[in-house]
Structure 1
């Protein structure tokens, strides 16, 4: 057994999901967490949905850069990516005692396909929970921004979901906030219009409690 494997065996895996609308700053916060957790001696795995596995890369291309996908097919494809991602990437890392930080998880499906596409949120959630065999994050960080702010941050490059009108993204934002209000013990909601380092400090304070 290597030194890293021995260290991981003495630590429990911790699962963190970063959620929020497009342009909320999830990638920036994931990298800040990776640096901070590394300084604490933790092994960190940064991943994302869709696209956190080889299969996921192909599903991501279809979902975000392909032609029209019907809402139900969209929900099923996200769930398929999630099932494989958890089985092949997330669970093995947690079992090694690593901290897994994912850019999006199942709450994105409930917000985007449930609220955004006007599918039944409970059906979308149930599908994803079945796909991941009930695995939920230890902490879900919701980076909350108005759709206009997210759009301005993205510039001129928009994928298929990002190209949806502001009304769609307002429904998505409302879906995220409703999920956070229903499970406040699992969520940290942060005003993501703040400076990245200020956001990071708030995330770090909450995650410190989870790591104990």
Structure 2
């Protein structure tokens, strides 16, 4: 069986994850590597339906949100990530299980043991080979994404509605207080500290410089891949 490489990009709002996934995808294409970009939620029909539902801003309890993201992740792993890894692909995911720990765990105070169980169950125990945490101060990140209600987020009296401040560009939960985003960042930093497979990068750097740092870490991992003869990268499934 061939074994690919599983790379995940994590980070808060405005950290530039999607940009770095796209840059790495193009770089791998230049080297004729088989690469597959995916994102959460998305890529699968279930993930896309979840994205649309989240755009509706219908209220969700933290527990409901946790279960929805777990269901979408299970489908993504089954349909795309695991089969592609078995074929020797380099799979790059814009968010994975770390987002659930940071957002629903630290951000919304859902029990960590419940999150860990669901993450493991949804992924079948699949873990990334390397996870890039693009770290940025939440206030700067919110400015980057042009959050219309940034002043609400900076207010201690702002609503603490559940969920992410944006769902990859859709900005579902714009009225989250800054304290929420600070908790999310703390969650990410704790994950990076506790997991040797995580690499923390300064998301304030120019995107070209950040892309070079990512490439310097990924490049030594490429020779160990076992796969069929290299082909041009697959079309993006984002």
Give the TM-score normalised by structure 1.
Answer: 0.90
Aligned to 2:27: 36
Q: CA deviation at 1:63?
A: 3.1
1:75-94 alignment runs, 5 A limit = 75-94=66-85
- The 1:182–1:48 alpha-carbon spacing in structure 2 relative to 1, beyond 3 Å, is same
Aligned residues: 202
Shift, 1:122, TM fit: 3.0
- For the pair 1:175 / 2:166, whether they are aligned, the reply is no
Structure 1 residue 194 and structure 2 residue 205: aligned?
yes
1:153 is aligned to 2:164: no
User: Is residue 147–residue 174 contact of structure 2 (8 Å, CA) maintained in 1?
Assistant: no
Structure 2 equivalent of residue 129 of structure 1: 120
Q: Distance in 2 between matches of 1:16 and 1:161?
A: 27
Residues 141-182 of structure 1: per-residue CA shift (max 9 Å, x gap):
000011111111111465224541111000000000000100
Structure 1 residue 206 corresponds to structure 2 residue 217 = yes
Higher relative contact order (CA 8 A, sep 6+): 2
Contact 1:114 1:121 in 2 (8 A): yes
Query: Is the CA contact (8 Å cut-off) linking 1:47 and 1:103 kept in structure 2?
Result: yes
Relative distance call for 1:30 and 1:176 in structure 2 (3 A) is same
Q: Give the Cα separation in 2 of the matches to 1:119 and 1:175.
A: 12
Q: CA deviation at 1:120?
A: 1.6
Is the 1:17–1:137 Cα contact (8 Å) retained in structure 2?
yes
State the alpha-carbon separation in 2 of the partners of residues 70 and 55 from structure 1: 19
What are the ranges of 5 or more consecutive residues in structure 2 without an aligned counterpart?
149-165, 224-238
List structure 1 runs of 4+ shifted beyond 6 angstroms.
none
Deviation at 1:64, TM superposition (A): 4.5
Following TM superposition, by how much is the alpha carbon of 1:65 offset from its aligned partner in structure 2, in angstroms?
A: 3.6
Q: TM-score by structure 2 length?
A: 0.81
Shift of 1:87: 0.2
Q: What are structure 1's unaligned runs of at least 5 residues?
A: 1-8
Q: What's the secondary structure of 1:143's corresponding residue?
A: strand
Residue 113 (1) aligns with residue 125 (2): no
CA distance in 1, matches of 2:113, 2:210: 30
Richer in helix (by share) = 1
